[in-house]
Amino acid sequence: MCCPMSKPSAAATAYRTLRLRDHKPAWLALLLGALASFPSARALPGDPPQPRMVLDGHAVAWASARNDRGAVAKSLQLGALELMLKRPPERQAALEAYLAQLQDPDSPNYQRWLTPSQIGARFGASEADIARVGDWLRSRGLHVESISNSRTRIRFGGTAAAIGAAFGTQLHWYQVADGSKRMAPADAVTVPHEMADLIDGVTGLSRTRFAPLARMQRKQSTLDVDGNPALSNCQGTVCSYFVTPGDFAKIYGQSRATAQGLDGRGQTIAVLGRARVNEADIQAFGARTNVAMKTPVVVIPPDGADPGPPATTCGTTGTPSCDDPDESFGDQGEATLDVTRAGSVAPGADIKLIVSGDRDDTDGLWFA
């Protein structure tokens, strides 16, 4: 049995106090290090997982169990996905106020337009928030491709497995009415609750291919006539009618702007597409409609794919051909229509044709 301890002397107590003071940094560092290394309560084994927040607006009607054709290969590389970032409330309010001032003739900011970079600097997500979201993406095995000048979108990519895991879902193929297969999430799209105040949505999980609105007729011919606002092509009793620049100007009252010399000079128009245009077609259109328009400058985005040269003619047999055109003809026809319409309405404007072919199973328009 141990004897009762005697009360320490005043000298001994003072000595121990001095010893603790001398070594305070050491024992304090050990204590803080131990606390820092101890897992927080929410991370203890056996605790329920933290809730994830559902991102609304990502369900598509055709992604049904009936149309499900199985999971996308885990190793499939996907690109051109974009996270839509939330602006801080104070920046969102400031943006809305500025937009109102742009339309107010009494405001000093009336029609003081901003570039995308200026919008990003004043109203976009903060550098800290962008870094936080980027770190989260990389921690999930994804890579950041770019950040928009407006600082509201982060473009990223990765494997289908990593993307599905990051957003709490699986990516599946679905067969739609036209027989083609499209990709979409099989479950709700979610993000960790700690990221919900930064992320507004994600694009690219559902892959819908854009179809050109322009359609190529199987049989076509041209009519050699002078520029005519009412240009038509009649073969027997069947006529094809075209909306020319003259018609467009009359329909939309463009003549007043033209009389004032407003022809788009000093402005740039961007046309997005999946195909180049044949310059000879642009020149022929201008000659037939008496419009001198500029040749478009082709721009291929750094992360896009070169769609190749434009078609200059079409054969009479095989596919694609004049008798059996495929989607590539439609893409070029759509781009030609857009360029000629923009160039004839604003003949003084510079036109940039921003094009990309498909890449990583992604519609080229997403890259453009």
Query: pLDDT class for 44, splitting at 50, 70, 90?
Result: very low
The amino acid at residue 350 is D
Q: Lowest-pLDDT range, 23-32, 159-168, 327-336?
A: 23-32
Q: What is the mean pLDDT of residues 119-146?
A: 96
DSSP string, 87-117: PPHHHHHHHHHHHHHHT-TTSTTTT----HH
Q: Answer for the pair 158, 77: CB distance below 8 angstroms, yes or no.
A: yes
Q: What is the mean pLDDT of residues 205-224?
A: 60
Q: In angstroms, rounded to a whole number, what is the distance separating the alpha carbons of residues 203 and 366?
A: 10
Residue 226: pLDDT above 70?
Answer: no
Q: Answer for the pair 152, 86: CB distance below 8 angstroms, yes or no.
A: no
**pLDDT on residue 140:** 97
**pLDDT on residue 311:** 85
Residue 321: pLDDT above 60?
Answer: no
Q: Answer for the pair 340, 57: CB distance below 8 angstroms, yes or no.
A: no
**pLDDT on residue 37:** 35
| CA nearest neighbour of 202 among 139, 152, 140, 143 | 152
Q: Name the residue with higher pLDDT: 292 or 31.
A: 292
Q: What is the mean pLDDT of residues 268-296?
A: 92
Q: Is the pTM of this model over 0.85?
A: no
Convert the pLDDT of each residue in 136-153 to its tens digit.
999 999 999 999 999 999
Q: How many helices (H) and strands (E) does the chain have?
A: 11, 14
DSSP-assigned letter for residue 254: T
Query: pLDDT class for 243, splitting at 50, 70, 90?
Result: confident
Q: Name the residue with higher pLDDT: 350 or 366.
A: 350
- Number of CB atoms found within 10 A of residue 245's CB: 22
**pLDDT on residue 2:** 46
**pLDDT on residue 9:** 46
Q: In angstroms, rounded to a whole number, what is the distance separating the alpha carbons of residues 178 and 46?
A: 48
Query: pLDDT class for 323, splitting at 50, 70, 90?
Result: low
| CA nearest neighbour of 212 among 296, 77, 328 | 328
**Locus of tokens 């498909």:** 358
Q: And the tokens for 138?
A: 């990389």
Residue 220: pLDDT above 70?
Answer: no
Q: Lowest-pLDDT range, 11-20, 77-86, 185-194, 285-294?
A: 11-20
Please list, in sequence order, all residues whose beta carbon lies within 8 angstroms of the beta carbon of residue 46, skipping any fewer than 6 positions away.
none
**Alpha helices (H) along 53-156:** 89-102, 116-123, 127-139
Q: What is the dihedral of CA 159, 163, 166, 170, to 10 degrees?
A: -110
